[in-house]
Every structure is written in structure tokens, then in C-alpha cells.
Amino acid sequence: MQADRQPLLSVNDLRVGFKVRGESKAPWSPGKLLQAVAGVSFDLMPGETLGIVGESGCGKSTLARALLNLVPAQSGSIKFNGNEMRGASAAAWQKMRRDVQMVFQDPLASLDPRMNILQVVAEPLRTHEPGLPNDEVLARVKAVLKRVGMNDEHLYRYPHEFSGGQCQRIGIARALVLRPKLIICDEPVSALDVSIQAQIINLLKELQREMGLSLVFIAHDLAVVRHVSQRVLVMYLGRVMELSEKEALYAAPKHPYTQALQSAVPIPDPKLERAKVIQLLQGEIPSPINPPSGCVFRSRCPKAFDRCPVEVPPLVRVDERSEAACLLYT
């Protein structure tokens, strides 16, 4: 990465919370704040893929939706192409969404069952380029469907007629038809068979090379993220635990949470797999409504010590390629 390049997407201290009712179900109950995203910061460069991983409920999908203002952020900064988006007008967000598209986790549920594939893929064009002639719309839809491995014969079929992998290809085509700069992929392969996962990941990598796309790739599987990302951000209870270049993270993870996740990844070699020491995490994930004081991971961390309950660890640089939010490095 060249140092003089500017980030395509820059996120700083982003926080997203939801008010939930407390133990009292009375409507006048003040409720509590569930902090789904708690101070996340990162930069994404043009043409780069940032993988975001963590257990279910850690805030990955909420973060993805906040980047598109599908859920409102309470504080922090979201800059796209140098323009501050948090607090921007609806018209500014509409313009930004032409360059930022999303691929969702459930490929079938993300497609309107009442629309055929031509209508599904053409809908972004109808929204953002309403003056485009019908023949140009048809040509653009055919071209992008062909690029993701679909044929003209699929144009007038409906989503329920396709497999999960085919529906995800259609979802990718829909995201690509506007020729965006950034695609946010929210667990796009978690609902697919392993062989289909590989096809979709390879397709995304090919499209990235051809079109110069930037990707935010969200998953809970470190093995999947390894094949698609240049850098990896690890989340736990809404916070960033580690942000590292891919090679550094998989060779020597710095944060105890990342080390535990890495130890759970299967190794194809039976001898190495049998000899591997798995770092089992104790207990359950704490409630995000009432997270532990200090370091949110301390209640499950095998390396916790006396500072952990009283200090919130900042994300600090450990070496040239890694940052970690752990008091062991401060």
C-alpha cells in the first residue's frame, strides 16, 4: 500500500447503540443501552479487502449497516472519498449509495420474490439512472449476469427457482450493476455449501481484480476470511480486539481472543491437527447490555491480570503490521 494514497473509506470511533427495555416491561421504564458498536476505527484503501471477523453478536452486521446509514450511528465519523457522511443529508447518502453496495447473508431472502431476475438486477439502475433507455438497461443487466456466471435464459425466472449459490450470484450482479467502488459483504457465504463458498469467494476476488473494487468482507470463519482479505479486523462485544495484515495475523496473532479463534481453525494435515493445542474459551459471551468493566474480554481471557477490570485497553500498534487492544502491550 502506498503511503500517499487516501483511504476510500475512513471510520473513526464509530458507536451504534439501541435502547432496550430493562427487567421491567412497563412502557415508562427507562430501559438500557445495548452498545452494539463501541468505538470502531479503521481505514479502507482503494482496491483493498478488509475482513471483519468475530463470534455471533459481536456487532459485525450492525457495523456494516451503520456504514450505509441503514441503522443510525450515535457518534463517530464515516468518511467516504473524503466526504463526511455522518449527519449528511438524505440526498448525500443516496448519492453515496451509488458507489457503495451491499451483498447480504441470506441470498434468497435478499431478493424480492415478486420480481423476476431482470427486474431485481435492474432496480438499482431504475433508481439511480432513471433516464436510462430500456435497451441500455437490458444490455447492462445481461452483461453483469453473464459476468457472474448466469445466462440470458435466467432473466425472466423468479428467485425461488434458483439454488442458494445462484441467488447469491444474482445478489452480486445486483450490487455490481451500478459499477460501485465499494461492496460490503455481510457474511455472503455462511448459508452456502463449502464448495459453493469457494466459487463465490473466487468470483469476488476475480471481480475485484477486474474492476478495482474495495471490499468489506464480514464472516465468523477465520479460514474463509484468510482467502479473500489483505487485512483482518477482529471484533468482540462491539470493540476492535485486533487489526492486522493477513499474514501477520495468521502467523502470530497478538490478542488472546484472536489466538483462541485461530486455534479453533481446522488444519488439513491430520498430524498437525492432532498435535495442535486448542485454546478453549471459558464461559459464555457476556451480555452486551451489561458488558464487563475494563477490557470486555477479560471475563474469558486466560491472560487477564489486575489491570484488566479497571482499564479499557486502547488499540495500540504492536509492530509494523499489527494493532491490538490489549493491556499486555501498554
**174 part of a folded domain:** no
Least reliable range by pLDDT among 32-36, 89-93, 325-329: 32-36
pLDDT of residue 284: 81
pLDDT tens digits for range 100-125: 999 998 888 889 999 999 999 999 99
- Tell if the pTM clears 0.75, that is, is over it: yes
**153 part of a folded domain:** no
Domain, as residue range, for 273: 9-99+180-329
pLDDT above 70 covers what percent of the chain? Answer: 92
Instruction: Produce one character per residue of 156-188: b if its CB has 16 or more CB atoms within 10 Å, e if not.
Output: eeebeebebbbbbbbbbbbbbbbebbbbbbbbb
Q: Burial level of 315, CB count in 10 A (0-12/13-18/19+)?
A: buried
Segment 31-37 mean pLDDT:
87
pLDDT of residue 221: 81
Mean per-residue pLDDT of the chain: 90
pLDDT of residue 224: 85
Residue 185 has pLDDT above 60, yes or no: yes
CA 160, CA 132: separation in Å to the nearest integer? Answer: 28
**218 part of a folded domain:** yes
pLDDT of residue 49: 95
**89 part of a folded domain:** yes
User: What CATH number has the domain bearing residue 240?
Assistant: 3.40.50.300
CA 59, CA 81: separation in Å to the nearest integer? Answer: 24
Q: With the CA atoms of 2, 64, 104 and 209 taken in that order, what torsion angle do they form, in degrees rounded to the nearest 10?
A: 0
Least reliable range by pLDDT among 1-5, 215-219, 294-298: 1-5
| Cβ atoms within 10 Å of 54's Cβ, excluding its own | 26
Residue 1 has pLDDT above 50, yes or no: no
Residue 20 has pLDDT above 60, yes or no: yes
**131 part of a folded domain:** no
pLDDT tens digits for range 49-74: 999 999 888 999 999 999 999 999 99
Coil/strand/helix, residue 17: strand
Strand partners of residue 34: 18
Q: How many domains does the chain have?
A: 1
**259 part of a folded domain:** yes
Segment 240-254 mean pLDDT:
94
**122 part of a folded domain:** no
**123 part of a folded domain:** no
pLDDT tens digits for range 149-169: 999 999 999 999 999 899 999
Q: For residue 143, what pLDDT band results from cuts at 50, 70 and 90? A: very high
